[in-house]
Amino acid sequence: MDQVLGQVLRNAVWERLDMLSDLATRADAQSLVSVARSELPRLTEGWRAMLQAHEPDERGDCPTCSTRWHRCKAPCSVWQVAHEHLVAGGLAPQQTAATQDRRRRVPGQSRVSAAETTGRHALVDPRRPITA
């Protein structure tokens, strides 16, 4: 049940991001200003909450990314992605679709469940050939 709920939550987030991207590229100026006023504060608060969870501890480790057996030194990948997208912007190297797909996969997940093979943003096994 947790996997199904997790997939539902992930799909909802991906679809929301898709909708915002579509609005950014297709909306008229007045609609774009309206969306920006309502969504930008929500997006910045979301980034702040996520980054706060990844603030380094007194040893310089990310408490969220670290495990008992493996310490993750700051800046962790979350901070690196934040810098790449929020600060470096156009200066950052462009990602390929394969790189973006790898980031969408859940770390440590090696098998794809039946619940994750449906929906627009379903996780797919990259080793499995795509058949249409």
Ordered DSSP codes for 80-106: HHHIIIIIIGGGSPPPPHHHHHHHHSP
Interior angle at CA 31, CA 28 and CA 36, nearest 5: 115
Q: Which two tokens stand for residue 43?
A: 């997006």
Q: What is the structure's pLDDT at 91?
A: 59
Closest CA to 78 of 47, 117, 106: 47
- For the chain, 132 residues long, give each residue's pLDDT as a single digit of tens: 788 999 999 999 999 999 999 999 999 999 999 999 999 999 999 999 999 999 999 999 999 999 999 999 999 999 999 999 999 876 545 555 554 554 555 444 444 444 444 444 444 444 444 444
pTM for this predicted structure: 0.62
